[in-house]
Amino acid sequence: MILSLSVLSCVSIALKAKTLTIVDQFGNPVEHAVVELLQSTAQQPVTKTPAIMDQVQKQFAPKLLTIVKGQQVSFPNSDDIRHHVYSFSPAKPFELKLYAGTPKAPITFEQPGVVVLGCNIHDSMVGYIYIAQSSAHFVSDEQGNVTLPDTTTSYWLWHPEQAQEIIERTEHDWPAGHSNSKVEIKLTKPEPRNTFGEMFKEHHGN
């Protein structure tokens, strides 16, 4: 009987969930879009375990990291070469010289927003940290889908390849009475040789 109630509870939760599908201007599903609920007051204790933004084969790994404000991020260097990670983003400007096998203290990200990472030595390295207000944030899958709570009424939408300024998030309202919704975000697919410096100039006009 307990098992049956548990199954019914899971089914009930699944039926109440909302599904958001994110597509680009051509109707293609958009993976790695961040959706953050505006009305959420879900303030869980910040985890004491730092999130990881590694450097692997001259690339940030992962390329996109989502955390909650107040959370720390560790920047290990798994390459056998030196990196010089930096950010000009208002949410957290910093620089960090990383040597192979020499760990640095984690960095605390106190303010919500978007941080764009670059490397002063390897300019083709570009990474992103999305700092959410609360734990109520989600990332779209390969089909561009995100499962959201039934209580969702409005949300922010952001993607690292969006056409608008990289640190800006767009606000959307959930259509009343609908359990499924589709939203379009205009993307500008970066060329393979785009560098952090070029991206910073494009989005900041410097």
Per-residue pLDDT of the chain (206 residues; tens, 9 = 90+): 344 333 333 434 445 799 999 999 999 999 999 999 997 655 667 788 999 999 899 999 999 999 999 999 999 988 888 899 999 999 999 999 877 767 789 999 999 999 999 998 888 899 999 999 989 999 999 999 999 999 999 999 999 999 999 999 999 999 999 999 999 999 997 655 455 555 544 444 44
**What value, to the nearest 5°, has the Cα angle with vertex 129 and ends 127 and 133?**
165
Check: CB of residue 51 under 8 Å from CB of residue 73.
yes
To which CATH superfamily is domain 33-204 assigned? Cupredoxins -  blue copper proteins (2.60.40.420)
Q: Name the residue ranges covered by the structural domains of the chain.
A: 33-204
Other CB atoms within a 10 A radius of the CB of residue 202 amount to 14
Q: Which long-range contacts (CB under 8 A, 24 or more apart) does 3-7 make?
A: none
Can you tell me the distance from the alpha carbon of 151 to that of 178, in angstroms, rounded to the nearest whole number?
12
The token pair at 173 is 């309202």
In whole angstroms, what is the distance from residue 98 CA to residue 180 CA? 45
Is 160:30 a contact under the CB 8 Å cutoff?
no
Q: What is the three-class DSSP state of 169?
A: coil
State the pTM of this model. 0.82
Three-state SS string across 68-120, please? ECCCEEECCECCCCCEEEEECCCCCCEEEEEECCECCCCEECCCCEEEEEEEC
